[in-house]
Structure 1
């Protein structure tokens, strides 16, 4: 894996080293995303910040789970495997491993075999932002990692993100109304939003339908539109779900997302993808995420308000909403005037006993 390279290569940095320079971070982004950013641009515009945090987390988890040496020592080694997967999306895993093995010294092969498997899984995760392979120190409750044992990476992802069978779709045409946004999933339906770095968990209901996972790395997706490892049209549709859940021109939604972005270090691009038109709000326009959106919409429609705040924001049934709040107003006025009458009566009795 270790080619003779100039020491000026910013990727020739030990993966255990913390506080990477902007030059190294920039080289990592350019190597995986295929961009041409400069270190100055990265520092000034905070480009790819959320993805770089994910990259660092994945590397640390891999180091905790296994010793990556002798085959994986620097960031350059990781990027080389990433490039190999990008250039050979239909190659079998075993073939990829044999080709990478050929770059190692013969004496290192036995010691490096398990390490190389871990390195390939790590590179696949970084390239697809999908939980591929098992990591002992990064267990997420309810998350089911993809195990890549054989076949090409492209086939693995296509199997995971395949279009549902047509028999499960188009039975009933469902329109996704304008209230169906991420902010209202929380404040109306009472669902807890769990922000995830795992693309495979996007829009998945968890914990007895009390939580929903939402993937947020829009910047990553923008640079994967021509990626050969994802099914055609999958990236564009996933970005479209951001337009649905985080409508860019909804002021309240933008304010809510900015608060979430600050609190959870989200990719700010997710809230600036645009919006969906009335025609695009048919659920049949979503093919890859059709089933999960349908399940989420059903949970949203069936949720009943249980707090005053939920009653206030729940405008799904306007007649019911007006009826409830008119009744609440009448009740409040009745109690208010009743209290005034009681106080007035009490004062009259007091005056009758103590006229002076």
Structure 2
């Protein structure tokens, strides 16, 4: 039976073995964050870490391992899940990057010309899997994701680096920013014309790209819930909880429009279903000063949303932010449609009258005598 396989055995399996068994997932998650991964189908439940469904995370885990071991694994020293959890333990212990690198070097069975690259990539891969943030920068590919650059020159532990990297900033004024109920992901698309891009990189959450035409949203609510409840999480205190609140803001639970919009997306099967269970924010919780880590990105996103003007009929239909303008536009459209319809009716009626007149005249001319 799968559940009877010792944890040491499943952890010694190759990173490329797929799909991951349930015992492998449980062994890895227990050592990364002190929790277990449940079988597919169970929902996110905020009161119980054991009920967190990490299926979306495991898809990410397998994808990252496959990318890292590209080209026969010549660029990374990690080979098994045991290598990942062992390095993760060093990261959680507070060891500086240089010391972790030295420890990994001492365990190399064979030395290579690119030892430094392989060891750095092994640390970055583990940090990426531990935190779902893009630490990697592999020489053979380009991910397009924002990189979290933790190097030996910056010193200190990974926890200290993350405290500095995600330090709350208040550079943008927020006096006029109001996060109304209309400010949600579906309307970012349907009203502002923004392309919503689901990202696996926490560092890209709420980031605007492509001249403010795309917004990246970190959708892994189940992973965030695991981090929120884990005593071993390396994320700064409150970051996971606040990120979940931004998801509750953009994907309010029970909102029919949001649910319909997600179902209509071509890639709706790619995101974490836990997004549907993040709850809804009350009026007091929607104030911009309730956000610290993501405050400036929310300010920028809200500014783009507020400045967006409808350009298509679809955008005009959904844009009810200005009620008077919305009704005026659609009354004008209705008047135009009625004018065209009545004009067509009158034209057809006139054509019929002319036809009947010519028909009658023709009959008179072709009559007897």
* TM-score of the alignment, normalized to the shorter chain, above 0.5: yes
Q: Are 2:287 and 1:282 aligned?
A: yes
Q: Quickly say closer, same or farther: Cα 1:35–1:200, change in 2 above 3 A.
A: same
Task: Say if 2:251 and 2:276, in contact at 8 Å, map to a contact too.
Answer: yes
Task: Say if 1:154 and 1:229, in contact at 8 Å, map to a contact too.
Answer: yes
Q: CA deviation at 1:254?
A: 2.0
Task: Say if 2:75 and 2:121, in contact at 8 Å, map to a contact too.
Answer: no
Q: CA deviation at 1:31?
A: 2.9
CA distance in 2 between partners of 1:344 and 1:6 (Å): 86
Task: Say if 1:244 and 1:276, in contact at 8 Å, map to a contact too.
Answer: yes
Unaligned runs of 5+ in 2: 44-52, 364-369
CA distance in 1 between partners of 2:115 and 2:6 (Å): 24
Q: CA deviation at 1:24?
A: 2.0
Q: CA deviation at 1:72?
A: 2.4
Q: Are 2:178 and 1:164 aligned?
A: no
Give the equivalent residue in structure 2 for 1:97.
101
Q: Are 2:166 and 1:183 aligned?
A: no
Alignment of 1:201-350 (within 5 A): 201-225=204-228, 226-260=231-265, 263-350=268-355
Q: CA deviation at 1:281?
A: 1.4
Residues 184-213 of structure 1 deviation map (CA, whole Å, 9 limit, x = unaligned) = 000000001111100001111100111111
The TM-score with structure 1 as length reference comes to 0.88
CA distance in 2 between partners of 1:336 and 1:291 (Å): 50
CA distance in 2 between partners of 1:60 and 1:201 (Å): 21
The TM-score with structure 2 as length reference comes to 0.85
Give the equivalent residue in structure 1 for 2:49.
none
Give the equivalent residue in structure 2 for 1:10.
10
Give the equivalent residue in structure 2 for 1:24.
24
Q: CA deviation at 1:169?
A: 5.1
Task: Say if 2:68 and 2:76, in contact at 8 Å, map to a contact too.
Answer: no
Unaligned runs of 5+ in 1: none
Alignment of 1:41-190 (within 5 A): 41-43=38-40, 45=42, 47-64=53-70, 67=73, 71-86=77-92, 88=93, 90-104=94-108, 108=111, 112-141=115-144, 143-150=145-152, 151=155, 152-165=157-170, 168=171, 171-190=174-193
Q: CA deviation at 1:273?
A: 0.3
